[in-house]
Amino acid sequence: MTLAFDTSILIAIERKNKPIIIKLRSLSKLYPIPAQLPFMCYYEFLQGLKIRKPKRQNNLMNFINHFNTLHTTRTTAEILSDLKLKYNKQGIQLSLTDLLIASQVIENHLTLVTMDKDFENITELRKIIL
């Protein structure tokens, strides 16, 4: 099983959040294959780094480009559509961004590592909430 990192994890790594980094090191022993990035997590991190100083931008681009970024597919859209309809019917409001991230993680049989508790509501999603 492979992990996928949410944007919250990328930010924690960037900020050198020691408790999170320690937890990630433990997870890397259980999941030795490098983590993947859902498309929206790559986008969100990229958006944040563009407001940084040029030297910091280069360092962060090198960091983010070590990860494989998942591509959206028709299957992603099908899963996204199903999740959106299901949770809307239940009265659970989830952002389209979170649903897209979840859709890609589900499609690729990954486990999402996040600090975002909004993902708790998505029962179809394998997740580790730190």
**Domains within the chain, CATH numbers bracketed:** 2-129 (3.40.50.1010)
The first and second tokens of residue 129, run together, are 């909430």
Beta bridge partners of 100: none
Cα 87–chain centre separation? 19
What does the DSSP 8-state code read for residue 33?
S
Token pair 């259980």: residue: 30
pLDDT tens digits along 43-78:
999 999 888 888 889 999 999 999 999 999 999 999
For 23, the token pair is 């937890």
Handedness of CA 123, 2, 25, 57 (dihedral sign): negative
Tell me the per-residue pLDDT of 19-45, one tens digit each, with 9 for 90 and over. 999 999 999 999 999 999 999 999 999
Rounded-to-integer distance, Cα 105 and Cα 19, Å: 24
Q: Kindly report, residue by residue over 75-108, the tens digit of the pLDDT.
A: 999 999 999 999 999 999 999 999 999 999 999 9
